[in-house]
Amino acid sequence: MSPSSPELLAELRAALAPIRVLDSPFEKVLYARDASAVGYAPPGVVCLPLTTAEVQACVRIAAAHGRPVTPRGSGTGLAGGAVPLNDPVVIVTTKMNRLVEVDEDSRTAWVEPGLLNLDLSRQVAHLGLHYAPDPSSQQTCSIGGNVASNSGGPHCLLHGCTSAHVLAIEVVLADGSVCVLGGPEPDAPGYDLRGAFVGSEGTMGIATKILVRLMPNPPTIRTLLADFASIRDASAAVSAIIGAGILPAALEMMDANCIAAVENFAHAGLPLDAAAVLLVEVEGLAAGTEIAASEIVAQCRASGARAVRVAATVEERMLLWKARKSAFGAIANIKPNYYLHDCVVPRTKLVEVMEKVVDIVESRGLIVLNVFHAGDGNLHPLIVFDRREPGVEEKVQQAGKAIIEACVAAGGVLSGEHGIGLEKRDYMALVFSAVDLEHQQRLRDVFDPARRMNPEKVLPTGSWCGELHHVPEGAWI
């Protein structure tokens, strides 16, 4: 890590305010990593703008000094996308957190990138509306970060990921200019540059305002918990439900290790003797949800479910979802660290791949918890470990690599919602040809010809220019 020049710091502090330009070693280490397990790299300097104009100023000053830029939201990303490489100017958008404008008639809202996912739904709840994408980190992740990685969540099985709910984006480009991609029209003319930007992980620019689609709150919701004596039976139920023509709003699975961890944390009444549970939710008009719920119960029982429980109250439903969304925090009762994967496999390969995942992890003396979006085959194996144990991080990384290779070999893809970042960048060639990758790089270069925006992320371009560090033993971060 090299110190920032006095001239760079002086220009940034003049453009923002001294208190919003962070340069001390203590301040910078707070922004040296995200929630991934890929390590950390302290930034050159950290800026906290309040407006689009301030973001423009930061980008222009960085360009004038030949410094790269790393955009950052809440830092909840799980693929290393916000790890700052090459001593960049880190531009943090968390203070840009306003709900700018709501159009109740069109069910849309302009929001700033730092607005938290769940806060958006809370602020429009009085209108009977909500924002559909619901990552497990929705209490802390930002809309801008969701756009960067095209985040999903349990209810995206029915409603689609972030890209289906973003109509337009105001973007500060690498040269400091501003453009708006997309628009309020349902089918905007021309190339879908909005769609190209969603999921680009900060490599094409910085989102400073986002036009999102809001959805009406469903009149009726039914939430079911089915428990099974084997993962094979639970997986068969997933296929049976979809095969019966039912597309639930959410269809989640947890295995025995995960059930034990979350029940100890949430006390939701999960069956501790089950090998797997399915959490299934349907929504819509009352008559339709009752029919769908009855069919789901029938399909689960026909697939070997030992019991199917329907949440009787809103409180019971919320407790079940608390259990599901607490999985990543609950593992702290087992080990202090985790490595979370995000591969997607065909639903027909769930059992085969999950058995391989367990073998891969346990053969290395590690522990894995499986909690994932079963409806679309988006696996989330959680490898829990204590990085203070000698040699354990190497075993975790080996297991992670083997899991990726097993998923791709089964016809899967690298990521369903977490993005590529650093974690999976060097695996892109497993699913894309050299020609594919070249054209993706050409698209990126149109937005950022100098490749200064979030360098070394997503596309494999050689060895990392920045030095990644592992957290030292006993460190609190």
Residue-level pLDDT at 189: 81
Can you give the pLDDT at residue 194? 96
3-state helix, strand, coil in the chain (%, to 5): 40, 20, 40
pLDDT value of position 145: 97
Segments of the chain scoring below 50 in pLDDT: 1, 463-477
Q: What is the pLDDT of residue 219?
A: 96
DSSP element (H, E) containing 264: helix 256-266
Q: In this predicted structure, what is the pLDDT of residue 472?
A: 36
Map out the domains of the chain with their CATH numbers: 6-92 (3.30.43.10), 99-216 (3.30.465.10), 220-328 (3.30.70.2190), 335-423 (3.30.70.2740)
pTM for the predicted model, two decimal places:
0.93
The Cα 244–Cα 76 span in angstroms is 37
Which residue is associated with the tokens 């001593």? 87
Tell me if 368 sits within 8 A of 385, measured CB to CB.
Answer: no
Write out the H or E segment, with its range, that includes residue 371: strand 367-373
For residue 473, what pLDDT is reported? 36
pLDDT score of 2: 57
As a whole number of angstroms, the distance between CA 282 and CA 288 comes to 9
pLDDT of residue 329: 81
Q: Exposed e or buried b for every residue in 395-432, given b needs 16+ CB within 10 A?
A: bbeebbebbbebbbebebbbbbbbbbbbbbbebbeebb
